[in-house]
Amino acid sequence: MSRRFTFGQRTSVFGRAPFAPLAVAAVLALVTANVALADKRYVWIDNDGTVRVTREDPMGGRTVQTITVPDDISWQHAPDMLAEKPDSHKLSSQELFKLAARSVYWIESRSQDYGNAPRTVYGSAVAISDELALTNCHVVGGGKAALRLGSGKTEATTEVELVAANYDADRCILKVAGMKLLPVVGIRLMSTLEVGEGVYAIGNPQGLQRSLSEGLISGIRDDPDGRLVQTTAPISPGSSGGGLFDTRGNLVGITALTLTNSQNLNFAVPAEDFWK
């Protein structure tokens, strides 16, 4: 059975600007990275009005745009994965936010897609070292993009290098210059997660920087098409690339998508999968 949240055919693209239904990540052209372009994708709208990005032409007389995505970029000098913070005591939501929110940053991509006027895409990223951050590839930008990554309202840097990318799995790693990032306290392995435990999402939905939402892990989807952590923690456009944290402040996953025409079916890419 085909799942509508299959990688490369996702039903919601949270990095795109509101009211721009065809403004999906097209070509990852970064200000300091020369990325070889390869591989075609088809962009189209299904019967529910949802943007789809697929390897196959949907046919059937649909209006289709074609985009080019980069070859995978392997992570040549990946740091060791941060050890999980031990289960000493459960943090309050206030303590959790103070601990985890400092590691969540905003990404702003100014780009031009399909010959339209330049637009701004807003998303999130989570620091794992003083110079590296995890995000979803679809928030990095489309067309000829100029990226900014920052904290609060400060324009901290315009120098962003793409050091690893897997477009189909929606996993991108950025290296920044001009500022020192504050990394998360630890990374939680997917095998240790339990359905029903509490989690928090922190991101920049609709440009509202470092917003906090609370929920539960409602499913652990270890499928051949891709691993996902399902959660009831609300996420919205701009949340993509943000963090899903456990009650100790460990990074569980990178919030990526929701299932359309449903309620509280939200998903994150497991944080550990970025090291694959």
pLDDT in tens, 103-134: 999 887 665 444 455 566 778 999 999 999 99
- Alpha carbons 276 and 264: distance in angstroms, whole number: 28
Strands annotated E in 29-151 = 37-45, 51-54, 65-70, 104-111, 119-127, 132-135, 146-150
- Alpha carbons 168 and 59: distance in angstroms, whole number: 21
Asked if domains 37-73+103-176 and 93-102+185-271 share a fold, the reply is yes
**CATH code of the domain made up of 37-73+103-176:** 2.40.10.10
Sheet holding 51-54, edge to edge: 51-54, 37-45, 65-70
Q: Is the pTM of this model over 0.75?
A: yes
Structure tokens at 117: 């006027």
The CATH fold of domain 93-102+185-271 = Thrombin, subunit H (2.40.10)
What is the domain partition of the chain in residue ranges?
37-73+103-176, 93-102+185-271
Helix, strand and coil content of the chain, in percent to the nearest 5, comes to 10, 40, 55
pLDDT band at 97 (very low <50, low <70, confident <90, very high): very high
pLDDT tens for 159-189 read 678 889 888 888 999 988 878 899 999 999 9
Task: Answer whether 245's CB lies under 8 Å from 199's CB.
Answer: yes
Q: Known catalytic residues?
A: 138, 170, 240
Q: What is the mean pLDDT of residues 83-92?
A: 88
Q: What is the pLDDT of residue 38?
A: 52
Percent of the chain clearing pLDDT 90 (strictly above): 39
